[in-house]
Amino acid sequence: MLNNSGARYKRSSLEIITNRFILYCILILIGMCLFAGIASTLWLLSFSPHTGRVIFIIMITKSAVTDGILNLVSAILNYQILIPLSLYISVELIKLGQIYFISQDVKLYCERRDRAMECRSLNIPEELGRVQYIMSDKTGTLTGLSSIPSVHFS
C-alpha cells in the first residue's frame, strides 16, 4: 500500500525557475494594484466634489471607497501585462523545435535497429548536457567498500 501512490510530476529546473519568477511577478502586480486602489481611495476621500475645490474629479459612484475598488480592478486590468503568459508558450514552442531537430539528427540514427531518435517528453531536451552529480570512488570499487558513518559517544 505504501508504493501504491501515483507517479509524481517531474519538473525541469527551467520550469521551476520560470514558475518562481512568475510568482514574483504576480506578487509585484498585487502590490502595485493594492497601492493604486488604496491611494485612489485616500485621494478621493481627501477631496469633496460638493465643495467645488477640485472640479475635475469625476466619481462614478457616490462612494469614494467604491470608486477606489473600481480603480483597483482597472489597475489589475492595466498592469496584468506584467505576468508573461506568452513566455510559457514560447518555451513550449522552443521545446517542440528542439525535439524535432533531435529526431531528425542523422548522427543519432541507429542503423542496427533501423530507428531514429525518439523523444517522448518535452522536459528531456532542456536537461541534456547538464551535470548535477558526479559519483566517484577514490578506491576504484563502488561495491567493495561501504561508507557507513560511525557514531562515537564520549
Which residues participate in catalysis according to the annotation?
137
Query: Could you give the CA distance from residue 139 to residue 147 in angstroms, rounded to a whole number?
Result: 12
CA distance 47 to 60: 15
Residue among 44, 80, 79, 39 at smallest CA distance from 60: 44
Task: For residue 75, count other CB atoms closer than 10 A to its CB.
Answer: 19
